[in-house]
A = this chain, B = another copy of it.
Amino acid sequence: MPASEFTLIYRYFSALGRGEAVDLSVGDDCAILRLGEGERLATSVDTMVDGVHFPQDSFPEDIGFRAVSVAASDLAAMGARPLGMTVALTLPEPDEFWLNAFSQGLAAAVSEYELPLVGGDTTKGPLTITVQVLGAVPLDGALLRGGARPGDKLYVSGTLGDGAGALAFLAGDWQPEPDAAEYLLDRFNRPRARLALGRELLGRATAAIDISDGLLADAGHVAAASGVKLVIDPALLPLSDALQTYLSPKQVREWAMTGGDDYELCFTLPPGEQPPEGCTHIGSVEEGEGVDCGLAIDIPPGYQHF
Protein backbone atom coordinates (compact mmCIF):
# COMPACT_ATOMS: atom_id res chain seq x y z
CA MET A 1 0.00 0.00 0.00
CA PRO A 2 1.26 3.48 -0.64
CA ALA A 3 -0.01 5.48 2.31
CA SER A 4 1.45 8.66 3.70
CA GLU A 5 2.20 9.08 7.37
CA PHE A 6 -0.81 11.33 7.72
CA THR A 7 -3.18 8.78 6.23
CA LEU A 8 -1.82 6.07 8.50
CA ILE A 9 -2.14 8.17 11.61
CA TYR A 10 -5.63 9.33 10.85
CA ARG A 11 -6.89 5.93 9.81
CA TYR A 12 -5.81 4.04 12.88
CA PHE A 13 -5.32 6.45 15.69
CA SER A 14 -7.58 9.47 15.27
CA ALA A 15 -10.56 7.88 17.01
CA LEU A 16 -8.52 7.28 20.18
CA GLY A 17 -8.04 10.92 21.18
CA ARG A 18 -11.24 11.91 22.94
CA GLY A 19 -11.24 12.54 26.66
CA GLU A 20 -12.50 14.87 29.34
CA ALA A 21 -9.17 16.70 29.67
CA VAL A 22 -8.48 16.88 25.92
CA ASP A 23 -9.00 20.30 24.32
CA LEU A 24 -7.08 19.44 21.14
CA SER A 25 -5.93 16.01 20.01
CA VAL A 26 -3.92 14.73 17.02
CA GLY A 27 -3.72 17.10 14.04
CA ASP A 28 -1.93 20.28 15.13
CA ASP A 29 1.66 20.89 16.28
CA CYS A 30 0.87 19.87 19.86
CA ALA A 31 -2.05 18.37 21.70
CA ILE A 32 -3.63 20.57 24.38
CA LEU A 33 -4.86 19.17 27.69
CA ARG A 34 -6.54 20.81 30.64
CA LEU A 35 -5.54 20.32 34.25
CA GLY A 36 -8.03 20.79 37.06
CA GLU A 37 -7.44 23.68 39.45
CA GLY A 38 -4.99 22.84 42.17
CA GLU A 39 -3.38 19.99 40.23
CA ARG A 40 0.09 19.30 38.89
CA LEU A 41 1.18 17.32 35.86
CA ALA A 42 2.74 13.87 36.34
CA THR A 43 4.52 12.41 33.32
CA SER A 44 6.58 9.32 32.52
CA VAL A 45 7.97 7.64 29.41
CA ASP A 46 8.70 3.99 28.56
CA THR A 47 10.21 2.47 25.45
CA MET A 48 9.71 -1.11 24.28
CA VAL A 49 12.13 -2.56 21.74
CA ASP A 50 11.24 -5.57 19.57
CA GLY A 51 12.91 -8.72 20.87
CA VAL A 52 14.16 -6.98 24.03
CA HIS A 53 10.98 -5.95 25.85
CA PHE A 54 8.60 -8.32 24.11
CA PRO A 55 9.13 -11.58 22.17
CA GLN A 56 9.50 -11.04 18.42
CA ASP A 57 6.44 -13.16 17.64
CA SER A 58 4.10 -11.22 19.95
CA PHE A 59 0.68 -10.29 18.60
CA PRO A 60 0.53 -6.59 17.66
CA GLU A 61 -2.65 -6.18 19.79
CA ASP A 62 -0.73 -7.39 22.83
CA ILE A 63 2.28 -5.18 22.06
CA GLY A 64 0.00 -2.14 21.93
CA PHE A 65 -1.92 -2.94 25.10
CA ARG A 66 1.20 -3.89 27.02
CA ALA A 67 3.17 -0.79 25.98
CA VAL A 68 0.42 1.46 27.33
CA SER A 69 0.04 -0.60 30.52
CA VAL A 70 3.75 -0.46 31.28
CA ALA A 71 3.78 3.34 30.97
CA ALA A 72 0.43 3.84 32.72
CA SER A 73 1.70 1.76 35.63
CA ASP A 74 3.99 4.67 36.51
CA LEU A 75 0.96 6.96 36.74
CA ALA A 76 -0.65 4.39 39.05
CA ALA A 77 2.45 4.40 41.24
CA MET A 78 2.07 8.18 41.70
CA GLY A 79 -1.68 8.06 42.38
CA ALA A 80 -2.22 10.17 39.25
CA ARG A 81 -5.50 10.83 37.46
CA PRO A 82 -4.90 9.84 33.79
CA LEU A 83 -5.11 12.75 31.30
CA GLY A 84 -3.74 11.38 28.05
CA MET A 85 -0.76 9.87 26.28
CA THR A 86 1.34 10.12 23.14
CA VAL A 87 2.79 7.16 21.25
CA ALA A 88 5.96 7.33 19.15
CA LEU A 89 6.03 4.33 16.83
CA THR A 90 9.05 3.28 14.79
CA LEU A 91 8.18 0.61 12.21
CA PRO A 92 10.28 -1.12 9.52
CA GLU A 93 7.49 -0.60 6.99
CA PRO A 94 3.90 0.67 6.96
CA ASP A 95 2.27 -2.74 7.39
CA GLU A 96 -1.47 -2.19 7.34
CA PHE A 97 -2.33 -5.50 9.00
CA TRP A 98 0.11 -4.83 11.81
CA LEU A 99 -1.05 -1.24 12.31
CA ASN A 100 -4.68 -2.25 12.43
CA ALA A 101 -4.02 -4.91 15.07
CA PHE A 102 -1.67 -2.65 17.06
CA SER A 103 -4.27 0.13 17.10
CA GLN A 104 -6.84 -2.34 18.47
CA GLY A 105 -4.51 -3.06 21.38
CA LEU A 106 -4.07 0.66 21.94
CA ALA A 107 -7.83 1.15 21.76
CA ALA A 108 -8.41 -1.49 24.43
CA ALA A 109 -5.94 0.29 26.71
CA VAL A 110 -7.39 3.74 25.97
CA SER A 111 -10.78 2.42 26.98
CA GLU A 112 -9.61 0.43 30.01
CA TYR A 113 -7.57 3.30 31.48
CA GLU A 114 -9.58 6.27 30.16
CA LEU A 115 -6.25 7.48 28.77
CA PRO A 116 -6.87 9.12 25.37
CA LEU A 117 -4.18 9.04 22.68
CA VAL A 118 -3.57 12.74 22.02
CA GLY A 119 -0.51 12.74 19.78
CA GLY A 120 2.24 10.71 18.24
CA ASP A 121 4.95 10.30 15.66
CA THR A 122 5.51 7.48 13.19
CA THR A 123 8.98 6.88 11.79
CA LYS A 124 10.74 4.24 9.71
CA GLY A 125 13.22 1.99 11.47
CA PRO A 126 13.48 -1.07 13.71
CA LEU A 127 10.24 -1.75 15.64
CA THR A 128 10.24 0.43 18.76
CA ILE A 129 7.33 1.84 20.74
CA THR A 130 7.65 4.78 23.13
CA VAL A 131 4.64 5.69 25.26
CA GLN A 132 4.54 8.96 27.19
CA VAL A 133 1.78 9.17 29.79
CA LEU A 134 0.37 12.34 31.30
CA GLY A 135 -1.57 12.49 34.54
CA ALA A 136 -2.62 14.91 37.24
CA VAL A 137 -1.77 14.77 40.93
CA PRO A 138 -3.03 17.09 43.67
CA LEU A 139 -0.95 20.17 44.50
CA ASP A 140 -0.52 18.87 48.03
CA GLY A 141 0.34 15.26 47.35
CA ALA A 142 1.40 12.34 45.19
CA LEU A 143 2.57 8.80 45.96
CA LEU A 144 6.35 9.15 46.12
CA ARG A 145 9.03 6.57 46.82
CA GLY A 146 10.61 8.52 49.64
CA GLY A 147 7.99 8.60 52.39
CA ALA A 148 8.24 5.18 54.08
CA ARG A 149 8.85 5.42 57.86
CA PRO A 150 9.94 2.83 60.43
CA GLY A 151 6.82 1.16 61.80
CA ASP A 152 4.95 1.29 58.48
CA LYS A 153 3.77 -1.98 56.94
CA LEU A 154 4.67 -3.15 53.43
CA TYR A 155 2.06 -4.35 50.91
CA VAL A 156 1.76 -5.48 47.31
CA SER A 157 -1.27 -5.76 45.03
CA GLY A 158 -2.22 -8.86 43.04
CA THR A 159 0.18 -11.79 42.71
CA LEU A 160 3.91 -11.75 41.98
CA GLY A 161 6.10 -13.79 39.64
CA ASP A 162 3.50 -14.36 36.94
CA GLY A 163 5.35 -12.22 34.40
CA ALA A 164 8.61 -14.10 34.97
CA GLY A 165 6.77 -17.42 34.87
CA ALA A 166 5.17 -16.49 31.55
CA LEU A 167 8.52 -15.47 30.06
CA ALA A 168 10.08 -18.77 31.17
CA PHE A 169 7.17 -20.63 29.58
CA LEU A 170 7.58 -18.65 26.34
CA ALA A 171 11.28 -19.50 26.39
CA GLY A 172 10.41 -23.20 26.59
CA ASP A 173 11.80 -23.66 30.11
CA TRP A 174 8.60 -25.30 31.38
CA GLN A 175 5.15 -26.30 30.16
CA PRO A 176 2.09 -25.42 32.27
CA GLU A 177 -1.33 -26.97 31.70
CA PRO A 178 -3.50 -25.06 29.19
CA ASP A 179 -5.55 -23.12 31.76
CA ALA A 180 -2.44 -21.99 33.63
CA ALA A 181 -0.69 -21.15 30.36
CA GLU A 182 -3.59 -18.96 29.28
CA TYR A 183 -3.63 -17.17 32.64
CA LEU A 184 0.13 -16.53 32.58
CA LEU A 185 0.19 -15.29 28.99
CA ASP A 186 -2.63 -12.90 29.80
CA ARG A 187 -0.68 -11.64 32.80
CA PHE A 188 2.39 -11.01 30.63
CA ASN A 189 0.71 -9.71 27.47
CA ARG A 190 -2.10 -7.78 29.13
CA PRO A 191 -0.77 -6.50 32.44
CA ARG A 192 -3.24 -4.14 34.13
CA ALA A 193 -1.90 -0.82 35.38
CA ARG A 194 -3.30 -0.34 38.90
CA LEU A 195 -4.61 3.18 38.34
CA ALA A 196 -7.69 2.85 40.54
CA LEU A 197 -5.60 1.41 43.37
CA GLY A 198 -3.06 4.23 43.05
CA ARG A 199 -5.74 6.86 43.42
CA GLU A 200 -7.23 4.97 46.37
CA LEU A 201 -3.83 5.08 48.08
CA LEU A 202 -3.40 8.86 47.66
CA GLY A 203 -3.22 10.46 51.08
CA ARG A 204 -3.03 7.04 52.74
CA ALA A 205 0.20 5.33 51.58
CA THR A 206 3.49 6.79 52.74
CA ALA A 207 5.41 5.46 49.71
CA ALA A 208 4.64 3.57 46.51
CA ILE A 209 6.31 2.15 43.42
CA ASP A 210 5.21 -0.13 40.61
CA ILE A 211 6.95 -3.48 40.29
CA SER A 212 8.49 -3.38 36.84
CA ASP A 213 12.03 -4.53 37.62
CA GLY A 214 11.21 -7.13 40.30
CA LEU A 215 10.07 -6.81 43.92
CA LEU A 216 13.55 -6.82 45.47
CA ALA A 217 14.90 -4.21 43.07
CA ASP A 218 11.87 -1.95 43.30
CA ALA A 219 11.58 -2.29 47.07
CA GLY A 220 15.26 -1.32 47.08
CA HIS A 221 14.38 1.95 45.34
CA VAL A 222 11.79 2.69 48.05
CA ALA A 223 14.28 1.83 50.80
CA ALA A 224 16.95 4.07 49.27
CA ALA A 225 14.61 7.00 48.62
CA SER A 226 13.07 6.74 52.11
CA GLY A 227 16.31 6.09 54.00
CA VAL A 228 14.88 2.96 55.67
CA LYS A 229 15.19 -0.84 55.62
CA LEU A 230 12.38 -2.91 54.14
CA VAL A 231 11.94 -6.39 55.64
CA ILE A 232 10.04 -8.83 53.44
CA ASP A 233 8.70 -12.17 54.70
CA PRO A 234 8.90 -14.60 51.74
CA ALA A 235 6.17 -16.76 53.27
CA LEU A 236 3.69 -13.91 52.84
CA LEU A 237 4.24 -13.32 49.11
CA PRO A 238 0.97 -13.56 47.11
CA LEU A 239 1.41 -16.26 44.45
CA SER A 240 -0.93 -17.46 41.73
CA ASP A 241 -2.28 -21.01 41.58
CA ALA A 242 -0.92 -21.18 38.05
CA LEU A 243 2.61 -21.06 39.41
CA GLN A 244 2.13 -22.89 42.71
CA THR A 245 0.41 -25.91 41.20
CA TYR A 246 3.20 -26.84 38.84
CA LEU A 247 6.46 -25.56 40.24
CA SER A 248 8.70 -25.87 43.26
CA PRO A 249 8.18 -23.30 46.03
CA LYS A 250 11.80 -22.23 45.60
CA GLN A 251 11.34 -21.45 41.89
CA VAL A 252 8.09 -19.58 42.43
CA ARG A 253 9.56 -17.56 45.31
CA GLU A 254 12.55 -16.58 43.21
CA TRP A 255 10.35 -15.34 40.37
CA ALA A 256 8.14 -13.47 42.82
CA MET A 257 11.19 -11.81 44.38
CA THR A 258 13.22 -10.95 41.29
CA GLY A 259 11.00 -11.31 38.21
CA GLY A 260 9.94 -8.09 36.57
CA ASP A 261 6.92 -7.46 34.36
CA ASP A 262 4.27 -7.81 37.08
CA TYR A 263 3.22 -4.13 37.18
CA GLU A 264 1.65 -4.53 40.60
CA LEU A 265 2.02 -1.77 43.19
CA CYS A 266 4.31 -2.08 46.20
CA PHE A 267 3.48 0.42 48.95
CA THR A 268 3.77 1.25 52.62
CA LEU A 269 0.94 2.14 54.99
CA PRO A 270 1.21 3.66 58.45
CA PRO A 271 0.35 1.35 61.37
CA GLY A 272 -3.41 0.90 61.73
CA GLU A 273 -4.22 1.89 58.13
CA GLN A 274 -6.23 -0.90 56.45
CA PRO A 275 -5.02 -2.05 53.01
CA PRO A 276 -7.36 -1.88 50.02
CA GLU A 277 -8.98 -5.09 48.83
CA GLY A 278 -6.72 -7.38 46.78
CA CYS A 279 -3.55 -6.25 48.53
CA THR A 280 -1.32 -8.41 50.71
CA HIS A 281 0.79 -7.57 53.75
CA ILE A 282 4.33 -8.81 52.93
CA GLY A 283 6.60 -7.10 55.42
CA SER A 284 7.53 -4.05 57.43
CA VAL A 285 9.65 -0.92 57.50
CA GLU A 286 12.54 -0.64 59.95
CA GLU A 287 15.47 1.65 60.69
CA GLY A 288 18.42 0.87 58.46
CA GLU A 289 18.94 0.46 54.75
CA GLY A 290 18.36 -1.97 51.91
CA VAL A 291 15.96 -4.87 51.64
CA ASP A 292 16.10 -7.94 53.89
CA CYS A 293 14.12 -10.99 52.83
CA GLY A 294 15.99 -13.57 54.91
CA LEU A 295 16.93 -15.51 51.78
CA ALA A 296 20.20 -15.94 49.94
CA ILE A 297 18.81 -14.57 46.68
CA ASP A 298 21.11 -12.64 44.42
CA ILE A 299 19.50 -9.24 44.32
CA PRO A 300 19.89 -7.81 40.86
CA PRO A 301 20.53 -4.04 40.98
CA GLY A 302 17.32 -3.46 39.04
CA TYR A 303 16.47 -4.81 35.65
CA GLN A 304 19.51 -4.38 33.43
CA HIS A 305 18.48 -2.73 30.20
CA PHE A 306 21.99 -3.26 28.79
| A residues adjacent to B (C-beta < 8 A) | 3-6, 23-24, 27-35, 37, 39-50, 52-53, 74-75, 77-78, 80, 83-84, 86-88, 90-91, 93-94, 118-126, 128, 130, 132-135, 137, 139, 142-146, 208-210, 225, 301-306
Contacts and interface: CB of A to CB of B under 8 A. Distances in A.
Contacts of A126: 125-126, 128
B301 A6 contact: yes
Contact of A306 (B119, B124, B128): B124
B30 A44 contact: yes
Q: Main SS of chain A's interface residues? A: strand
Contacts of A128: 90, 125-126, 128
Given A41-B35, A43-B118, A28 B145 contact: yes
Nearest to A33: B41
Contact of A225 (B5, B6, B27, B37): B27
The quantity of this chain's copies bound in the complex is 2
B52 A42 contact: no
B123 A74 contact: no
Contacts of A49: 90, 123-125
Contacts of A209: 29
19 contacts: A4-B301, A23-B40, A24-B144, A28-B78, A30-B43, A30-B74, A31-B43, A32-B40, A34-B40, A35-B41, A41-B41, A47-B88, A47-B121, A47-B123, A49-B123, A52-B123, A88-B130, A124-B305, A132-B132
A302 B144 CA distance: 43
Contact of A45 (B28, B74, B132): B132
Contacts of A94: 306
Nearest to A93: B306
A42 B31 contact: yes
A44 to B, nearest CB: 4
Contacts of A43: 30-31, 33, 84, 86, 118-119, 132, 134
A302 B125 contact: no
Nearest to A37: B37
A144 B23 CA distance: 12
Contacts of A48: 123
A262 to B, nearest CB: 15
Contacts of A302: 4-6
A66 to B, nearest CB: 15
Q: Give the one of A46, A74, A88 with max B CB within 10 A.
A: A88
Contacts of A124: 49, 52, 305-306
A5 B305 contact: yes
A41 B45 contact: no
A246 B68 CA distance: 50
A302 to B, nearest CB: 6
Q: Which 7 A-B pairs have the closest CB atoms?
A: A49-B125, A29-B77, A30-B42, A29-B74, A30-B44, A130-B130, A132-B132
